Each structure stands twice: as C-alpha cells, then as structure tokens.
C-alpha cells in the first residue's frame, strides 16, 4: 500500500473505532430495547470497549511501525487533518444540541449519554473518511 504512516494510522483508527465502538452500540441498542434504562448498567460494557479499543490501536500502530518506518506529520498531513475536522465537527455539534434539547424535554439520561457518544463516534468516523478521501483524491 503506497501510503504514508499517517494515512495508515487513519485507516487503523477508522477500522478500530467502527469495529469496537460499533459493536458496543449494537450490544447497547439490544440492552436498551430490552428496557435497561440505568446508565450504570452500561459502564462495564463501555469500559471493556475502551480498553479493547486502546489495545487494538496500540497493536495496529505497532505492526505498521514495524513494517514501515514511522514518519512525522508534514504540512500536507496537517492540512488534511484540519480540513477533515472542519467538515465533520458539525456532527458532534448537532449531537450536543440535540442532547441539550433532550434534557430540556426530560428524556432519560441513558438516551442522552448514548446520543452524545454516538454523535462523537459519527463525527470521528466522518473525519477519518474525509481524511482518507483527501489522501487518495487530493485537495
């Protein structure tokens, strides 16, 4: 794969996040559908997901670093990162505003918490996708 270490890192983060946190949301959705409405019930699952995410990220970056020499970020990597963030950050903003509206409407905290986490996940995934598009198609 003719890609810089930064681009490979973005691929690792995208796949890890979608795989691990995506699995968390599948299980959490199942729990919510069964009527689990206590935030504390989701904490162990979330803790496992975060630990797993860290392990997968470290393992992925270690493998890539062994296979190809890590290089620092250059001006193109930084510009791609900024542009991707500018194009994706609105998703988190919408999630936060929707969560505030939900709190005003007294929606259960478990829904608010998951709405915030989901918007954070979607915002990050969109950022990684934009980065990969800019790396492949140019700016």
Indicate which single residue of 33, 105, 106, 137 sits in contact with other proteins (rule: CB under 8 A): 137
**Neighbour tally for 9: CB within 10 Å:** 21
Min dist CB 133 to other proteins, Å, is 12
**Angle at Cα 81 formed by Cα 76 and Cα 87, nearest 5°?**
125
Does 4 interact with other proteins (rule: CB under 8 A)?
yes
How distant, in Å, are the alpha carbons of 22, 122, 126 from that of 92? 17, 8, 10
Our finding on whether 55 is near other proteins (CB under 8 A) is: no
Measured from the CB atom, the residue of 7 and 124 that comes closer to other proteins is 7
Told to check if 124 binds other proteins by CB under 8 A, we report no
What minimum distance in Å lies between the beta carbon of 137 and other proteins? 7
Q: How many other C-beta atoms lie within 10 A of the C-beta of residue 87?
A: 16
Does residue number 86 form part of the binding site for other proteins (CB under 8 A)?
no
């Amino acid at each position: 794969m003719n890609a810089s270490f930064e681009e490979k890192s973005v691929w690792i983060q995208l796949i890890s996040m979608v795989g691990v946190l995506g699995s968390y949301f599948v299980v959490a959705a199942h729990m919510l559908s069964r009527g689990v409405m206590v935030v504390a019930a989701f904490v162990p699952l979330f803790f496992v997901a975060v630990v797993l995410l860290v392990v997968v990220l470290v393992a992925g970056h270690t493998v890539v670093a062994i296979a190809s020499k890590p290089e620092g970020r250059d001006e193109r990597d930084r510009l791609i990162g900024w542009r991707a963030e500018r194009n994706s950050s609105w998703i988190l903003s919408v999630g936060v505003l929707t969560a505030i509206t939900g709190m005003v409407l007294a929606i259960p905290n478990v829904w608010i918490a998951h709405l915030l986490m989901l918007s954070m996940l979607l915002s990050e995934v969109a950022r990684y996708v934009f980065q990969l598009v800019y790396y492949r198609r140019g700016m």
